[in-house]
């Protein structure tokens, strides 16, 4: 069998990067020539986790079909979030925890999606199903992914399975999950050194809501005002993106990781409808989102429903 590339979504986050590494490791143990790669830049939080457990970032690829005909996806399934040439290769496996949309294959495949908080929680099951031991450094990456996706178990996406997996894996990794987790989240939430244009693409995903093409971006912050002071710059750059990408909505979510609330800057034709989707109104292009931290479980379903 030729080399199989394993990768997560564009604008990679910690779950996407570590799950690519972890799943490629599992496959290698099963005799498959798998290599983890990435579709975008490593963020500060992910770099903190890679450094802590002694991993290099996976290799950056632009296109996958020039290298292989066979791929495995982790942490995403929607084609617009994947490699640009994803339709030109055969998808052998998908391990994910998101809604399913804009995905299609000609042949049957292994497609494992579960409604849990993190891909790593599913990968933990796969190791058990195949009777493969998890080394300490791989377990550390998996804990990092769970902490990141669940905001240290505080996100509504977090399930009992995620908490149990994180505790079990933290033991294997030899770390205190709360202490390590908070340090990792803070490393990711330190945006002071970032240019505003980088914040816009740090964790941005494209969706289709009704007739609108939309981008929902999210950044974590210890204090949302650290980001809100940059609002006019976000607006200028967001408007440019709307014109370039023909977007109906640009939705930039700033999440307070200590208080578990968010504020969004909403731009584009559908911005007022987006506020209405959360039973509120747009003020100064802002949508206040009390208690909302999860793009997947709270923001995308509300926009899917509201912009139909």
Token pair for residue 210? 């009704």
The yes or no reply on residue 160 touching its own copies (CB under 8 A) is: no
- Residue 23 assigned as binding residue: no
The yes or no reply on residue 213 touching its own copies (CB under 8 A) is: no
Taking the least distance from each CB to its own copies, the nearer of 45 and 149 is 149
- Residue 15 assigned as binding residue: yes
For the bound state, the minimum distance from the C-beta of residue 111 to its own copies, rounded and expressed in Å, comes to: 4
The yes or no reply on residue 225 touching its own copies (CB under 8 A) is: no
118-148: burial string, b at 16+ Cβ within 10 Å, e else: bbbbbbbebbeeeebebeeebbbbbbbbbbb
- Residue 198 assigned as binding residue: no
Q: Tell me which of 135, 156, 301, 306 binds its own copies, using CB under 8 A.
A: 301
Q: Which helix (H) or strand (E) holds 26?
A: helix 14-29
The yes or no reply on residue 130 touching its own copies (CB under 8 A) is: no
- Residue 84 assigned as binding residue: no
Backbone angles phi, psi at 288, to 5 degrees: -85, 130
Contact 64, 5 (CB under 8 A): yes
The yes or no reply on residue 264 touching its own copies (CB under 8 A) is: no
Q: Given the rule CB under 8 A, which of 2-10, 22-30, 108-116, 223-231 is the region that contacts its own copies?
A: 108-116
Give dist(CA 166, CA 156) in Å, integer: 16
The yes or no reply on residue 99 touching its own copies (CB under 8 A) is: yes
Q: In Å, how far from its chain's centre is CA 116?
A: 13
DSSP class of residue 292 equals: -
Give dist(CA 307, CA 169) in Å, integer: 40
Token pair for residue 90? 């055969």
**Residue whose C-alpha is closest to residue 296's, from 122, 138, 105, 159:** 159
Give dist(CA 269, CA 285) in Å, integer: 12
Taking the least distance from each CB to its own copies, the nearer of 62 and 104 is 104
The yes or no reply on residue 69 touching its own copies (CB under 8 A) is: no
The yes or no reply on residue 79 touching its own copies (CB under 8 A) is: no
For the bound state, the minimum distance from the C-beta of residue 104 to its own copies, rounded and expressed in Å, comes to: 4
The yes or no reply on residue 101 touching its own copies (CB under 8 A) is: yes
Q: Tell me which of 57, 109, 136, 228 binds its own copies, using CB under 8 A.
A: 109
Backbone angles phi, psi at 247, to 5 degrees: -85, 145
The yes or no reply on residue 129 touching its own copies (CB under 8 A) is: yes
- What part of residues 164-183 is at the interface with its own copies (CB under 8 A)? none
Within 10 A of 107 (CB to CB), how many other CB atoms are there?
Answer: 7
Give dist(CA 183, CA 262) in Å, integer: 20
Give dist(CA 185, CA 253) in Å, integer: 16
The yes or no reply on residue 107 touching its own copies (CB under 8 A) is: yes
Report the largest interatomic distance among the alpha carbons of the chain, rounded to a whole angstrom: 56
Q: Tell me which of 87, 110, 183, 240 binds its own copies, using CB under 8 A.
A: 110
The CA dihedral of 179, 290, 288, 272, to the nearest 10 degrees, is 120
For the bound state, the minimum distance from the C-beta of residue 54 to its own copies, rounded and expressed in Å, comes to: 32
Site string for its own copies, 7-36 (x = CB under 8 A): ------------------------------
The yes or no reply on residue 85 touching its own copies (CB under 8 A) is: no
Chain residues that interact with its own copies, rule: CB under 8 A = 97-115, 129, 296-297, 300-301, 304-305
What are the binding residues? 9, 13, 15, 75, 97, 149
What are the binding residues for Mn(2+)? 9, 13, 15, 75, 97, 149
């Amino acid at each position: 069998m030729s080399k199989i590339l394993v990768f997560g979504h564009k604008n990679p986050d910690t779950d996407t990067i570590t799950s690519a590494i972890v799943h490629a490791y599992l496959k290698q143990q099963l005799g498959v020539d798998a290599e983890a790669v990435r579709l975008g830049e490593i963020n500060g939080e992910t770099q903190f986790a890679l450094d802590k457990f002694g991993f290099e970032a996976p290799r950056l690829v632009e296109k996958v079909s020039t290298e292989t005909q066979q791929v495995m996806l982790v942490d995403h399934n929607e084609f617009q979030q994947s490699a640009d040439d994803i339709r030109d290769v055969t998808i052998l496996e998908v391990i994910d925890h998101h809604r399913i949309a804009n995905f299609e294959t000609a042949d049957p495949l292994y497609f494992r999606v579960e409604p849990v908080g993190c891909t790593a929680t599913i990968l933990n099951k796969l190791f058990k199903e195949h009777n493969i031991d998890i080394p300490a450094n791989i377990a550390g990456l998996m804990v990092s992914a769970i902490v990141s996706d669940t905001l240290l178990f505080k996100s509504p996406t977090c399930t009992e399975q995620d908490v149990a997996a994180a505790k079990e894996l933290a033991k294997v990794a030899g770390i205190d999950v709360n202490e390590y987790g908070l340090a990792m989240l803070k490393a990711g939430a330190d945006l002071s050194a970032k240019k505003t244009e980088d914040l816009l693409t740090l964790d941005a995903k494209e969706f289709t809501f009704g007739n609108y093409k939309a981008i929902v971006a999210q950044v974590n912050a210890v204090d949302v005002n650290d980001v809100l002071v940059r609002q006019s710059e976000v607006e200028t750059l967001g408007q440019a993106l709307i014109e370039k990408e023909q977007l109906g909505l640009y939705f930039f979510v700033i999440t307070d990781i200590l208080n578990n609330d968010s504020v969004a800057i909403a731009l584009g034709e559908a911005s007022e409808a987006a506020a209405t989707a959360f039973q509120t109104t747009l003020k100064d292009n802002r949508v206040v989102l009390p208690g909302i931290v999860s793009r997947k479980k709270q923001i995308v379903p509300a926009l899917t429903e509201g912009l139909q």
